[in-house]
Amino acid sequence: MVLCSPVLGALLIIVTGCLCLSMMVRHRRPQEPPLDKGFMPWLGHAMTFRKNMFEFLKGMMAKHGDVFTVQLGGQYFTFVMDPLSFGPIIKDTKKTLDFIKYAQELVLKVFRYKPTDGVHQIIHSASTKHLMGQGLENLNKAVLDSLSLVMLGPKGPSPSASSWHEAHLFHFCYSVLFKAGYLSLFGYTKDKAQDLQDAEELFTKFRRFDLLFPRFVYSLLGPREWIEVGQLQHLFHQRLSVEQNLEKDGISNWLGHMLQFLREQKTDVCMQDRFNFVMLWASQGNTGPTCFWALLFLLKDQKAMKAVKEEAARVLGEARLEDKMSFAFTLSALKCTPVLDSVMEETLRLSASPTLVRVVQKDYVLKMASGQEYQIRCGDKIALFPYLSVHMDPDIHPEPTTFKYNRFLNPDGTRKVDFYKSGKKIHYYTMPWGSGVSICPGRFFALSEMKIFVLIMVMYFDFELVDPDVPVPPIDPRRWGFGTSQPSHEVRFRYRLKPMQ
Ligand code: HEM
């Protein structure tokens, strides 16, 4: 009897343990999407997903079809891959699918910023007022001034500017766009040369943070990198602090508007500093990489380059410098560039790969366009990855991996908006900016900024690939799902300022 009691006790523990485990282990219920938990307990498919999200989802789609639930690090994500069924998810009038709480968790982890009530709304209302319409026209002028400063220097171009310079195309685009975008939105001091130098230094740190970013989000950094990320966060909080801002002129109305809201809300000053970092990240992380792809596609497609140059000459006339210091540029021309618009839309189709995530607030019925319905559990996440399900769908975009500069042009030269899937007209035929409540509020500004840059390049500069036969580099697979993709390696090019009056 004495011997029996420990054995019985152990048996009891094992049986209870097994019972608990079987309750914890998730099984597919009737009417739920196919469930793929992977082999690793809790982790599920996390490692394969993080290594190459695009290939992983392609495999899952081939295995399960348009809807499937996968386990990723203890969480269950239902991916919906049929764009004809996106409507109810994106519109979700009953607010069963939440974006804000999900975003709050992310910015707390990555930027140590804890948003207060109303911040999401103020970001969108400030952007509607200052990054679109009349507000955007004022900001375009600031962007042009900043691009002139960054690309021509504080004293105008030096005599050597007309000689050939060799550089890395990705770094060049990212650095120019970052500095010009940062100065336009975050303002100047009285010393422009110093501002330029500060922006250059900030870019170096930004790029370092950017490189660590995907693995940071996935909690895959080594101990040294964790420390480095902490230091970088601290540096950005300091460099973008409200205190430093006091010394600046011309902070954009966009940022000013949002900071005023935070002040009125009596948000802690350190949180205001962190908010600035979030805005720097959101506003500068994608424009430079997108411009890299745009210029590279143009350099690889002489017909496209010719069409853009001809359009630029038509709407902007001859390139000249104002007071030998800045680009003379008629900003209203930005409204009359259908060819460049198509180039940018095509570039974004090929390079922008956001993931749209919504947290299911209560049990939800997912209604597909086919009429099929699926039960999705409260607490799970619904995710869209339009790069694979829309941008690369050959039914919607024939030869989807090929850059076709006129893909978004009608034969009469107007913007093409009619695209079809399975013979049905499709509303979401590209989604570089996300959609619904989380749509990028800076999209009009981003497009203007990138277009001004590309137009300056084709009008004012000669530029060419060092090796014209160099292939377009593959996309860095670790960055899928994080906005604009980046190349796996650099591309060398050379450029010079065209001689002019
Ligand atoms: C090529 C350039 C850009 C691309 C491809 C892009 C793309 C996106 C995407 C996909 C989202 C939504 C993310 C989600 O659903 O979770 C987003 C959010 C955001 N973007 Fe952009 N963006 C670009 C440039 C800009 C610029 C220039 C600004 C500001 C000046 C900006 C400001 C923001 C902000 C503040 C958010 C967060 C919105 C929210 O919390 O609801 N973006 N962007």
Protein residue closest via CA to atom 6 of ligand 1: 433
Q: Which atom of ligand 1 is nearest to the CA of 131?
A: 30
Tokens 């207060």 correspond to 116
Cα 31 from Cα 17, distance rounded (Å): 29
* DSSP string computed for 146-158: HHHHHHH-TT---
- Domain 119-354+391-497 fold: Cytochrome p450 (1.10.630)
* DSSP string computed for 86-109: HHHHHH-TT--EESHHHHHHHHHH
Ligand 1 centre distance from Cα of residue 264 (Å): 25
Q: Which atom of ligand 1 is nearest to the CA of 432?
A: 5
Cα 277 from Cα 271, distance rounded (Å): 10
Name the phi and psi angles at 18, rounded to 5.
-60, -40
Cα 417 from Cα 194, distance rounded (Å): 45
pLDDT of amino acid 13: 54
Cα 98 from Cα 92, distance rounded (Å): 9
Protein residue closest via CA to atom 26 of ligand 1: 283
Ligand 1 centre distance from Cα of residue 126 (Å): 14
pLDDT of amino acid 20: 41
Cα 276 from Cα 237, distance rounded (Å): 8
Q: Which atom of ligand 1 is nearest to the CA of 348?
A: 5
| Contact predicate 375/314, CB 8 Å | no
Coil vs helix vs strand at 353: coil
CB burial of residue 18 (10 Å; 0-12, 13-18, 19+): exposed
pLDDT of amino acid 8: 55
CB within 8 Å of 387: residues ≥ 6 apart: 54, 352, 353, 354, 480
pLDDT of amino acid 98: 94
pLDDT of amino acid 11: 54
Ligand 1 centre distance from Cα of residue 353 (Å): 12
Closest CA to 99 of 439, 430, 427, 369: 439
Protein residue closest via CA to atom 39 of ligand 1: 438
Domain boundaries, the chain: 31-112+358-383, 119-354+391-497
Please enumerate, as own/partner, the contacts of 271-275 that have beta carbons within 8 Å and a separation of 24 or more.
271/113, 271/114, 271/116, 272/242, 273/237, 273/238, 273/240, 273/241, 273/242, 274/111, 274/112, 274/113, 274/237, 275/113, 275/115, 275/119
Quote the tokens at residue 176. Answer: 């120019």
Ligand 1 centre distance from Cα of residue 485 (Å): 14
Cα 282 from Cα 361, distance rounded (Å): 26
- H or E element, residue 229: helix 223-239
Closest CA to 383 of 69, 1, 100: 69
The single-letter DSSP state of residue 332 is G
Q: Which atom of ligand 1 is nearest to the CA of 484?
A: 5
Ligand 1 centre distance from Cα of residue 285 (Å): 9
Digit-by-digit pLDDT tens for the chain (501 residues) are 444 455 555 555 554 444 444 445 899 999 999 999 999 999 999 999 999 999 999 999 999 999 999 999 999 999 999 999 999 999 987 789 999 988 999 999 999 999 999 999 999 999 999 999 999 999 999 999 999 999 999 999 998 999 999 999 999 999 999 999 999 999 999 999 999 999 999 999 999 999 999 999 998 999 999 999 999 999 999 999 998 887 788 899 999 999 999 999 999 999 999 999 999 999 999 999 999 999 999 999 999 999 999 999 999 998 899 888 899 999 999 999 999 999 999 999 999 999 999 999 999 999 999 999 999 999 999 999 999 999 999 999 999 999 999 999 999 999 999 999 999 999 999 999 999 999 999 999 999 999 999 999 999 999 999 999 999 999 999 999 999 999 999 999 999 999 875
Quote the tokens at residue 17. Answer: 């343990």
Protein residue closest via CA to atom 37 of ligand 1: 440
Tokens 């899937």 correspond to 421
| Contact predicate 493/464, CB 8 Å | yes
Cα 106 from Cα 100, distance rounded (Å): 10
Cα 266 from Cα 287, distance rounded (Å): 32
Ligand 1 centre distance from Cα of residue 452 (Å): 19
Ligand 1 centre distance from Cα of residue 434 (Å): 8
Cα 371 from Cα 79, distance rounded (Å): 17
Three-class DSSP labels, 231-294: HHHHHHHHHCCHHHHCCCECCCHHHHHHHHHHHHCCCCHHHHHHHHHHHHHHHHCCHHHHHHHH
The residue type at 200? E
pLDDT of amino acid 501: 58
Cα 320 from Cα 498, distance rounded (Å): 10
CA distance between the termini of the chain? 105
Q: Which atom of ligand 1 is nearest to the CA of 123?
A: 35
Cα 495 from Cα 161, distance rounded (Å): 9
Cα 273 from Cα 255, distance rounded (Å): 12
Q: Which atom of ligand 1 is nearest to the CA of 438?
A: 41
Protein residue closest via CA to atom 20 of ligand 1: 440
Coil vs helix vs strand at 161: helix
Q: Compute the half-sphere exposure of residue 446: CA atoms within 13 Å on the CB side of its CA.
A: 22
| Contact predicate 417/391, CB 8 Å | no
Protein residue closest via CA to atom 43 of ligand 1: 440
Ligand 1 centre distance from Cα of residue 443 (Å): 7
CA distances from 322 to 143, 453, 501 (A): 15, 17, 9
The ligand 1 site (C-beta within 6 Å) comprises 103, 120, 123, 131, 282-283, 286-287, 290, 352, 354, 356, 432-434, 438, 440-442, 445-446, 483-484
Protein residue closest via CA to atom 36 of ligand 1: 440
Closest CA to 66 of 374, 364, 353: 374
pLDDT of amino acid 19: 41
Ligand 1 centre distance from Cα of residue 223 (Å): 30
pLDDT of amino acid 21: 47
* DSSP string computed for 379-422: T-EEEE-HIIIIIT-TTTSSSTTS--TTTTB-TTSSBP---EET
Q: Which atom of ligand 1 is nearest to the CA of 352?
A: 5
Ligand 1 centre distance from Cα of residue 125 (Å): 14
Protein residue closest via CA to atom 21 of ligand 1: 440
Ligand 1 centre distance from Cα of residue 340 (Å): 21
Q: What residues pair up with 76 in beta bridges, in sequence order?
A: 71
Ligand 1 centre distance from Cα of residue 286 (Å): 8
Ligand 1 centre distance from Cα of residue 159 (Å): 38
Name the phi and psi angles at 442, rounded to 5.
-100, 15
Mutate to test the pocket of ligand 1, among 278, 291, 344, 440 (most ligand atoms within 8 A of CB): 440
The Cα angle at residue 212 between residues 211 and 214, in degrees rounded to 5: 95
Q: Which atom of ligand 1 is nearest to the CA of 450?
A: 1
Tokens 């409200």 correspond to 242
